[in-house]
Structure 1
Amino acid sequence: MCNSPGDRVTTHRRERVRHILEAQRTAFMAELPVSIATRKDRLKRAAAMIRDHADRFCDALSEDFGHRSREQSMLTDIAGSIAPITHAIKHLERWSKPDSRPVQFPLGLLGARAWVEYQPKGVVGIIAPWNFPVNLIISPLAGVFAAGNRAMVKTSEYTPVTAALFEEVVGQYFDATELVFVSGGPDVGKAFAELPFDHLLFTGATAIGKHILHAAADNLTPVTLELGGKSPVIVGAGADVKQTTERVALGKMLNAGQICLAPDYMLVPASEEARIVDGLKTAATAMYPSLLANPDYTSVVNDRHFQRLGDWLEDARTKGAKVEIVNPAGEDFGASNARKMPLHIVTDVTDDMTLMQEEIFGPVLPVRRYSGIDDAIGQVNRRDRPLGLYYFGPDGEERRRVLDRTISGGVTVDDVVFHVSMEDLPFGGVGPSGMGSYHGLDGFRTFSHAKAVFKQAKIDVAKLAGLKPPYGAATMKSVARQMKG
């Protein structure tokens, strides 16, 4: 029984999202089959929704973060959202073709045929994170719409201005039975995850992902989890230190490190540690000679995350780590409430420090020494399998050993993060960093049901193969043929 206003609001929201799902599924079933033209039209409307309101989305993102680089938002959340849609439109007809499959001998000779048809699943739920709250909705939506589905999106409560803008503009481009946005806190998120979707995609923290999986289990809803983890950088033998440190610093400071694929820690040859730390400082200084008033540098999203990073740094200092702050303009960050945090390079880190136990998600970079590539591989493998792994170095045998002896969601060689932007590569984690993948063809197939179709030959195959009683010599010949090595 609902007694409090809060209970009544929660119940109302649960009923609302369930009604939306029912309306979308009814419309989906009435529409089948979903034509290629309809799918392309929805993709084009999704791109138009972002393109037409690009400036407003950039403003909303900056307001949600306290400050977010406009150019960065245009790159990562506007252009980065339209690119996968364009890719899907270009390749959709090829992806959608039935996939012919062979049949067992001699059925093919007798006229039997087999193929796979990729059919839309129905209604897909998307639970989006706050760090890229446009891109990480629209990018998976490209696969969802390409596959012929409809979608419901739960936006992050940490980016309410962006969420409100989605709710304001979506009706200009989509009927509510095609695409709808739902906002709210954890109660709404829980109700959303418990809906009997035909597929559910969650992007966010591993701890929350476990709850999502539990919620989906009651409905046997298939789930794709895009989580995170501690993505390592291995600096191999003979790596170009200048190039390596520039690329790592760029990847670490983009969005102030608030990226699920941000380099989380570096493993460096002991003899190169000092050069690599100096290279990181030089690279960070060149890109961001100042920070507080620099429009290119993004703030930490909220006070809780800012405090968390500060606490983890203090924990590291207390346990013996050395922390170097890259503050080229000598700015007073303590006197500012802008939540801008400079790059912190942490050396002499140990496994008992929180920085080496949790995903950092901020501009803090531990640097650890290793002795020999197998030691570096061992340091990676004693942790949970990461979403990304980055290797720098010209030694082909060493690179091959790293690729063969480590398991991660994806890898970028001689750079960081870039594999996520390759639309023809699957994007996903493994183990605690996620399950399933999307992007490009892989996204289309994730959000499609691969339906097997077999067309039997006209001849009485069952009698020929001895499958029809009374069983006899033909039956045993069929058994012997199938048991043959």
Structure 2
Amino acid sequence: MSDAPTDPLALPAILHALRAAWQANRPSLAQRDDDLLRLRMAFKARLPQMAEAIAADFGHRSTRESLIADGMTVLGEIDHLRAHLRRWARPRRVGVGWRFWPARAQLRPVPLGVVGVIAPWNYPVNLALIPLATAIAAGNHVILKPSEHTPRTSAFLQALLAEVFPPARVAVVQGDAALASALASAPLDHLVFTGSTAVGRKVMAAAAAHLTPLTLELGGKSPAIVCSDYPLDRAAARLATGKWFNAGQTCIAPDYVLIDGARQRELVQQLQTQVRARYGDFSDAADYTRIIHEGQYRRLRGYLDQARARGVPVIELATVDPERAARERLMVPTIVLDPPADLDLMQEEIFGPILPVCAYPDLDAALAGVEARDRPLALYVFSQQREVVERVLGRIVAGGVTVNDTLLHFAINGLPFGGVGPSGMGAYHGRAGFDGLSKRLPVLWQSRWAASDLLKPPYSKIAGMLKVLLR
């Protein structure tokens, strides 16, 4: 299969072939399990090639970060899908109530048909293969469009999937935003899109023409609230992992930190200690990922230039030669102290290694600030007091929450992953993904004898029965 760009005009024929094959031979549970097993085996054998492709696309990306974020997560999700597939696919009995006895009812998970997946560049394998594997588990055929910003990884995915699946079961299409727009406009049975909120709105508008059901995994400004009782050394270590893994190019990375004012400077010092311990003086920086491309690098530099021009403290937690930084797109972990709300970095999702650290006078003020923004994709609250955590959870509605750590709710297969409001709609991972990419078909089985046979004119004959039914 060629990895040349796909002409958007070719999409109707590709979709027709996928749908015709699905209608002719819907995948059985045995076929789905076999597909997932073969995908797992082929993928695991090619983990080194995957890491090499991602590193080449980023300019440099830590091999271990790729193995953790794009390798371990995919293998774990496939294992989870296979372990639960037969149970999830079983019809579930639903009570009919005494009025309709002796009928019986069930919810029967059935495949939808052809599912589209539009994947992003930041975790280009994870965010392509997990929705794809979920769609396969649910009995669908899939058309995948990887990101054009990671061409080597997209070629890797195309070769991998062509080896595992026949082209009428999984098709990979390559192209830019025009192809993504055409796919979003196509008559799919479901579409999974991962990307920015701005593009998500365009995808939703395009999908509306066919009323295509959507799972939108978007972004936003995910806050981390460090409460006054939580140890700062531990908070700094876990914030450092969440923020600087993949150089902050993570949709659920902490986008800003709220900390009680008396401990703000100490938290910055603890974060600097973490950076030195993890990355040294950046002379090598083998474990630190670069910014994906020049446009993103310029955008992030622009945030810092704007902050400095406004007199806002900007603290780079390491020193790197500017020429090398520009050449490698190497942006070191950077703190911005108390940036005004109208700065671009406080208006837009940062998606990079810049971390605003904002002091708050009390927890109520911090919560009010979070509530004033769009509902976030992730929320991180650090407190050793259960009542304080419950107070935060009782006020903030977010896509997902990790308490006293960062990122990890994404990795729990049994927890649905998804946003709320501008941070997304729908969810996947585990059972939530299987159900979301299935139709839970309601089926009522009527018995040989049924009381409904009596519900017919002349109604005067069943006046007594109606009194019973209406009580």
Whether the aligned pair in 1 keeps the contact of 2:40 and 2:78 (CA below 8 Å) is yes
SS in 1 for 2:295: helix
Whether the aligned pair in 2 keeps the contact of 1:265 and 1:368 (CA below 8 Å) is yes
- 1:283 equivalent to 2:274? Answer yes
Q: Partner residue of 1:5? A: none
Whether the aligned pair in 2 keeps the contact of 1:256 and 1:298 (CA below 8 Å) is yes
- 1:332 equivalent to 2:321? Answer yes
Q: Partner residue of 1:242? A: 233
Whether the aligned pair in 2 keeps the contact of 1:43 and 1:89 (CA below 8 Å) is yes
Instruction: Give 1:320 shift.
Output: 2.9
Q: Partner residue of 2:21? A: 27
Please tell me the residue identity of whatever aligns with 1:42. D
What pairs with 1:292-371 in structure 2 (closer than 5 Å)?
292-327=283-318, 330-336=319-325, 337-371=327-361
Q: Separation in 2 of the partners of 1:362 and 1:84? A: 26
SS in 2 for 1:59: helix
Q: Separation in 1 of the partners of 2:329 and 2:100? A: 68
The size of the alignment, in residue pairs, is 467
What pairs with 1:57-96 in structure 2 (closer than 5 Å)?
57-96=50-89
- CA deviation map 1:369-416 (0-9, x unaligned): 112211111110101100000000112111101001001000000001
What pairs with 1:5-154 in structure 2 (closer than 5 Å)?
13-32=7-26, 34-108=27-101, 111-154=102-145
Report the aligned-residue RMSD.
Answer: 1.6
Q: Separation in 2 of the partners of 1:18 and 1:48? A: 31
SS in 1 for 2:147: coil
**Any gaps of 5 or more consecutive residues in structure 2?**
none
- CA deviation map 1:98-155 (0-9, x unaligned): 11000021433xx211000000001100000000000001111221111111101011
Q: Separation in 2 of the partners of 1:82 and 1:92? A: 15
Instruction: Give 1:479 shift.
Output: 6.3
SS in 2 for 1:438: coil
Please tell me the residue identity of whatever aligns with 2:411. S
Q: Partner residue of 1:3? A: none
Residues 292 and 215 of structure 1: CA distance in aligned 2, closer, same or farther (over 3 Å): farther
- 1:449 equivalent to 2:416? Answer no
Q: Separation in 1 of the partners of 2:344 and 2:9? A: 41
Q: Separation in 2 of the partners of 1:75 and 1:462? A: 58
Q: Which moved more, 1:140-149 or 1:119-128?
A: 140-149
- CA deviation map 1:8-62 (0-9, x unaligned): x99x812322111111111111113x32110101111222232122111111101
Q: Percent identity?
A: 41
- 1:173 equivalent to 2:164? Answer yes
- CA deviation map 1:342-373 (0-9, x unaligned): 11101021101111110000000001111221
Please tell me the residue identity of whatever aligns with 2:379. L
Please tell me the residue identity of whatever aligns with 1:414. N
Q: Separation in 2 of the partners of 1:142 and 1:83? A: 11
Please tell me the residue identity of whatever aligns with 2:28. S
- 1:375 equivalent to 2:365? Answer yes
Whether the aligned pair in 1 keeps the contact of 2:144 and 2:172 (CA below 8 Å) is yes
SS in 2 for 1:278: helix
Please tell me the residue identity of whatever aligns with 2:322. F
Q: Separation in 1 of the partners of 2:350 and 2:456? A: 64
Give the alignment partner of residue 229 of structure 1, picking from 204, 220, 228: 220
Whether the aligned pair in 1 keeps the contact of 2:103 and 2:450 (CA below 8 Å) is no
Q: Separation in 2 of the partners of 1:91 and 1:474? A: 48
Q: Separation in 1 of the partners of 2:284 and 2:13? A: 47
SS in 2 for 1:405: coil
Residues 113 and 239 of structure 1: CA distance in aligned 2, closer, same or farther (over 3 Å): same
SS in 2 for 1:151: strand
Give the alignment partner of residue 427 of structure 1, picking from 398, 408, 417: 417
Residues 98 and 369 of structure 1: CA distance in aligned 2, closer, same or farther (over 3 Å): same
Q: Separation in 2 of the partners of 1:292 and 1:177? A: 49
**Any gaps of 5 or more consecutive residues in structure 1?**
1-8
Q: Separation in 2 of the partners of 1:447 and 1:459? A: 36
Whether the aligned pair in 2 keeps the contact of 1:373 and 1:398 (CA below 8 Å) is no
Q: Separation in 1 of the partners of 2:124 and 2:42? A: 14
Q: Partner residue of 1:471? A: 459
Give the alignment partner of residue 390 of structure 1, picking from 380, 385, 396: 380
Q: Partner residue of 1:6? A: none
Instruction: Give 1:475 shift.
Output: 5.0
Q: Separation in 1 of the partners of 2:55 and 2:342? A: 36
Q: Partner residue of 1:461? A: 451
Whether the aligned pair in 2 keeps the contact of 1:342 and 1:363 (CA below 8 Å) is yes
Whether the aligned pair in 2 keeps the contact of 1:263 and 1:416 (CA below 8 Å) is yes
Residues 475 and 373 of structure 1: CA distance in aligned 2, closer, same or farther (over 3 Å): farther
Q: Separation in 2 of the partners of 1:353 and 1:67? A: 30
SS in 1 for 2:107: strand
Please tell me the residue identity of whatever aligns with 2:136. F
TM-score by length of 2: 0.96
Whether the aligned pair in 2 keeps the contact of 1:292 and 1:338 (CA below 8 Å) is no
- 1:259 equivalent to 2:230? Answer no
